[in-house]
């Protein structure tokens, strides 16, 4: 099937906009979205799998932006994230690495073994189960002094669950009465340690000051006291916004600063909220904040995996990264197809780095446009930069054959579980989509509207509590085509269509049929019966 569009092929990614039944907590169905509503009935549309095995995770695991964009950009589901970590721990691969052995050796030789990262079992960025396994192994190997720097979650898990994880950890360490294992500092992921895309290095600096210097906004004797007091100070503060604190002893001294000779294992297996703190511990040339007299040789820093495949940071990691080949952007670059990727800061890395197989290196003819996100909390500016993204994309549409963009509002505002704000976010996206669609139609192009995972459609748990995490719901995919090409194809009858079918669909829309054999089949097939039958059989073969 040869399709030929005068205008561009546009992939519009609605971050965190899933599909489920209408209800009072579904900000997607309750939002006023006249353009999306009409498009979903007028144009070919299909629900896509965006969680679990469909995106390379374990069955039942909610999807996320990293694996969603990876899967779209590499045309297949590659085992990664928690699925890859599960395998590495189950086989003992982690414990056989030289860096794990060296981290333990230093801890037994007078140092302290530190752990840091997202302190939950959300399975998106981390899972403290693996930290517990490493603590158990370290204890068995003779390590007795360990400290934890807890980045509280409140997004991939319930917004007020910090105490549950502290109770779990306290129960866990009671198994080791001869060891000295304590939480030494903590704070919410949006204020302490875990910045991403260099949007606010002050978050990393605040974490560094607590972890390395023992300085913070608050000081407490126990982490449970910290949460209880901070909740009294601000009763509605979600875990992700908990202020930074340091645990001190009876003499008001920090109980677990990271010092020269210590080892640090960062437990996140997702890169975006780990790379900056990894740079702080490992870069010699570090301009983002003053580290004092610290030198990268002072602390042996180990990452759960590689956090930047271009710079190979960190040098020491427990699990080698997944190797992505045959990416869509590389394939299109080799074909001479001009490309544009655009989003605002909070999702810029997803539509570039993750979509391109964990690499910021551009293909020939590929350009990136980043729009600075608002610094205020997302629920205060729920429209985010949807209009500005539309402005930038519309201005550049005539220049490129393939354009991909990401509207972050459904995910970033959805993470707050603020229903009214999330409704506004979805409505702002609808307005922006309509503007882009009109321009694409004028140019004789086609737009594929899709999402990377669910979130905004489910803002409350079954027990009535706020839901700030992603979902396992399918996501929409709408092919907005007003050209004569629309007469040539129909939706393929795939067994379980998913995000992995996007790459081949884009290639097909661009008139290319020699895409990599590793890719899953396109979502469309030719209407002509004989050709459609052959194409359908090929699609089933590829899917299998």
479-482 long-range contacts, Cβ below 8 Å, gap at least 24?
A: 479/43, 479/44, 479/45, 479/446, 479/447, 479/448, 479/523, 479/524, 480/39, 480/43, 480/437, 480/440, 480/446, 480/447, 480/448, 480/449, 481/43, 481/44, 481/446, 481/447, 482/441
- List C-alpha distances in Å: 460 to 468, 469, 518: 8, 10, 38
Four-point Cα dihedral 226, 229, 230, 231, nearest 10: 120
DSSP letters spanning 175-211: T-TTSEEEEEEEEETTTSS---TTS-HHHHHHHHHHH
**Which is it for strands 489-491 and 524-526: parallel, antiparallel or unpaired?**
antiparallel
Instruction: Say whether 73 sits in a helix, a strand or coil.
Output: helix
Interatomic CA distance for residues 332 and 328, integer angstroms: 6
Cβ(503)–Cβ(71) under 8 Å? no
Provide CB contacts within 8 A for 438, sequence distance 6+.
Answer: none
Reply yes or no on whether 539 is catalytic. no
Residue 538 burial (CB count, 10 A): 15
Classify residue 455 as exposed, middle or buried by CB count within 10 Å of its CB (0-12, 13-18, 19+).
buried
Secondary structure E strands in 311-445: 317-319, 339-344, 366-371, 402-407
Instruction: Say whether 485 sits in a helix, a strand or coil.
Output: helix
DSSP letters spanning 429-467: HHHHHHHHHHHHHHHT-EEEEE-SSB-TT--B-TTS-B-
Annotated active-site residue in 29, 40, 51, 65:
65
Residue 261 burial (CB count, 10 A): 14
- List C-alpha distances in Å: 175 to 61, 90, 95, 539: 29, 21, 21, 53
Each residue of 156-175: b (16+ CB within 10 Å) or e? bbbbbbbeebbebbeebbee
43 — alpha (psi -120 to 50), left (phi > 0) or beta? Answer: beta
Residue 92 burial (CB count, 10 A): 9
Interatomic CA distance for residues 301 and 291, integer angstroms: 15
Task: Give, as one character, the DSSP assignment of residue 256.
Answer: -
| Longest Cα–Cα distance in the chain | 82
Provide CB contacts within 8 A for 472, sequence distance 6+.
Answer: 51, 52, 60, 61, 62, 63, 454
Q: Which residues are catalytic?
A: 65
């Amino acid at each position: 099937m040869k399709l030929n569009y005068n205008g561009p092929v546009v992939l519009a990614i609605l971050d965190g906009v899933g599909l489920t039944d209408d209800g009072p907590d579904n900000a997607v169905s309750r939002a006023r979205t006249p353009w999306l509503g009409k498009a979903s009935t007028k144009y070919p549309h299909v629900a896509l799998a965006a969680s679990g095995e469909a995106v390379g995770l374990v069955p039942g695991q909610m999807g996320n932006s990293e694996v969603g964009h990876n899967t779209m950009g590499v045309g297949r589901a590659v085992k990664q994230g928690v699925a890859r970590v599960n395998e590495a721990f189950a086989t003992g691969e982690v414990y056989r690495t030289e860096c794990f052995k060296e981290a333990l050796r230093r801890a037994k030789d007078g140092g302290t073994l530190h752990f840091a990262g997202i302190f939950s079992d959300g399975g998106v960025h981390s899972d403290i189960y693996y930290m517990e396994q490493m603590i158990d192994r370290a204890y068995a190997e003779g390590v007795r002094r360990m400290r934890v720097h807890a980045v509280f979650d409140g997004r991939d898990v319930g917004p007020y669950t910090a105490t549950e994880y502290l109770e779990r950890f306290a129960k866990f360490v009671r198994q080791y009465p001869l060891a000295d294992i304590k939480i030494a500092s903590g704070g919410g992921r949006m204020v302490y340690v875990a910045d991403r895309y260099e949007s606010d290095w002050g978050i990393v600096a605040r974490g560094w000051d607590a972890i390395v210097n023992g300085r913070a906004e608050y000081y407490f004797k126990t982490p449970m006291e910290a949460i209880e007091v901070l909740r009294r100070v601000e009763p509605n503060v979600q875990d992700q916004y908990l202020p930074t604190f340091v645990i001190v002893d009876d003499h008001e001294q920090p109980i677990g600063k990271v010092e020269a000779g210590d080892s640090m294992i960062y437990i996140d297996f997702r890169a975006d909220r780990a790379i900056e703190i990894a740079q702080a511990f490992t870069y010699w040339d570090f301009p983002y904040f003053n580290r004092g007299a610290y030198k990268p040789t002072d602390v042996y820093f180990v990452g759960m995996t590689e956090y930047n495949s271009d710079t190979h940071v960190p040098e020491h990691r427990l699990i080698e990264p997944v190797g992505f080949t045959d990416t869509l952007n590389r394939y299109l670059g080799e074909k001479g197809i001009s490309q544009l990727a655009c989003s605002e800061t909070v999702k810029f890395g997803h539509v570039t780095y993750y979509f391109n197989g964990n690499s910021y290196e551009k293909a020939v003819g590929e350009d990136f446009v980043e729009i600075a996100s608002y610094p205020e909390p997302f629920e205060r500016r729920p429209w985010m930069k949807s209009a500005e993204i539309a402005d930038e994309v519309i201005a550049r549409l005539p220049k490129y054959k393939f354009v991909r963009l990401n509207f972050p509002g459904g995910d970033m505002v959805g993470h707050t579980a603020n229903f009214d704000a999330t409704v506004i976010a979805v409505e702002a996206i609808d307005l922006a989509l309509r503007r882009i669609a009109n321009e694409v139609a004028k140019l004789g192009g086609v737009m594929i509207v899709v999402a990377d995972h669910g979130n905004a459609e489910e803002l409350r748990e079954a027990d009535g509590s706020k839901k700030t995490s992603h979902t396992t719901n399918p996501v929409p995919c709408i092919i907005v085509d007003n050209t004569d090409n629309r007469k040539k194809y129909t939706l393929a009858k795939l067994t379980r269509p998913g995000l992995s079918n996007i790459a081949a669909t884009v290639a097909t829309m661009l008139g290319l049929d020699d895409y990599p054999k590793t890719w899953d089949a396109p979502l469309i097939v030719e209407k002509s019966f004989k050709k459609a039958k052959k194409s359908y059989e090929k699609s089933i073969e590829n899917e299998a």
